[in-house]
Amino acid sequence: MKDSVTVHMNAPPERIWDLVSDVTRIGSYSPETFEAEWLDGATGPVAGARFRGHVKRNGKGPTYWTTCVVRECEPGQVFSFGVGPKEKPLNVWTYRMEPAGEGTDVTESFELANTAMLRVYWALLGWARGRTNRNGMRTTLERIRAEVEQAG
């Protein structure tokens, strides 16, 4: 009930982190989450900050808002957030940046909570959702790579 995609980018980790941690820019990269906004007066990434994302599931629908909480926030290294309740998120999304050669290996991953409901869902539909998530992570990372490499 988890997976990841890694893409090498010819850019420093700090520049990539600036893009992945600015949730208000997610609509430029993600094929499913087309906008996001900080909540409770937050203006940027910090552990514990809340934001909500506007999602169009599978790029077609249904469309809904989901509340997220920043879990890890280390500039140039990791940006992670949980979807749903802070104490027990349903899904955790993470971006990790590792220096590699003249650039950075960026890994986007997700991990679903180990609940009975999600285990049944994954057993029945995991093959399709897993493929959608892998394709979406690859698309997101490729769009980020295009932007940071063009700017560099």
**DSSP codes, 3-68:** EEEEEEESS-HHHHHHHHT-GGGGGGT-SSEEEEEE-TT--S--TT-EEEEEEEGGGTS-EEEEEE
Identify the domain containing residue 128 by its residue range. 2-151
CATH code (residue 92)? 3.30.530.20
Residue 122: beta bridge partners?
none
128-139 tens-digit pLDDT: 888 999 999 999
How many domains is the chain built from? 1
pLDDT at 122: 87
Distance CA 52, CA 55 (A): 9
pLDDT at 23: 97
- Indicate whether this model's pTM tops 0.85: yes
Residues of the chain with pLDDT under 70: 152
